[in-house]
Amino acid sequence: MYPFELKRRQGVTVRGVDAAWKHQVRLQIYLPFGAGLLVVGLLIGLLWLSGVGDASAWADVSIVLLFALAILLGIVGLVIIVAAMIGVIYLIRLIPPPFDRTRSAASEAQAAVSQASEAAAKPVIVPRAASYALIAGVRYLAGIFKG
């Protein structure tokens, strides 16, 4: 089944989906980024026009700019961590089939070892068990006749 088949029946086109995607990107990425740059620009402009050009005011503006850079670097780090998490989730989904094959092979090996150990122990255990049963029977009969 074609993944967009249901959407085509509802009147949604690929072009419409692309347009909606671009609209969401503009709204969720470019608008906040542009607003932040506008605020920083307004801060710099207000300080410049007010004539308050002392070192403290410019230090505050530079701290704001450094915080903005730190936030951007933090977002990049967050994206890297999220990508690593998605990769780990993808790898975890790939792991079960090889482990299932390994588990079934180990189970078959355990069954084969169990059968082999029983077959190897039977010639030793059966005669010894028969001799112990014969000795126990003779002692029981001897006990009956003694008294």
3-state helix, strand, coil in the chain (%, to 5): 90, 0, 10
As a whole number, the mean pLDDT across the chain is 82
Calpha distance 23→28 (Å, rounded): 9
| 57 touches 47 (CB < 8 A) | yes
Confidence of residue 6 (pLDDT cuts 50, 70, 90): low
Using a pLDDT cut of 70, give the percent of the chain over it.
90
If DSSP codes are grouped into helix, strand and coil, which group holds residue 53? coil
Calpha distance 61→41 (Å, rounded): 10
Confidence of residue 4 (pLDDT cuts 50, 70, 90): low
Confidence of residue 51 (pLDDT cuts 50, 70, 90): confident
In this predicted structure, which of 1-10, 62-71, 99-108 has the lowest mean pLDDT? Answer: 1-10
Res. 1: pLDDT tops 50: no
Q: Which residue has the higher pLDDT, 112 or 4?
A: 112
Res. 74: pLDDT tops 90: yes
Confidence of residue 131 (pLDDT cuts 50, 70, 90): confident
Averaged pLDDT, 88-117? 85
Confidence of residue 76 (pLDDT cuts 50, 70, 90): very high
Residue 85: its pLDDT value, please?
94
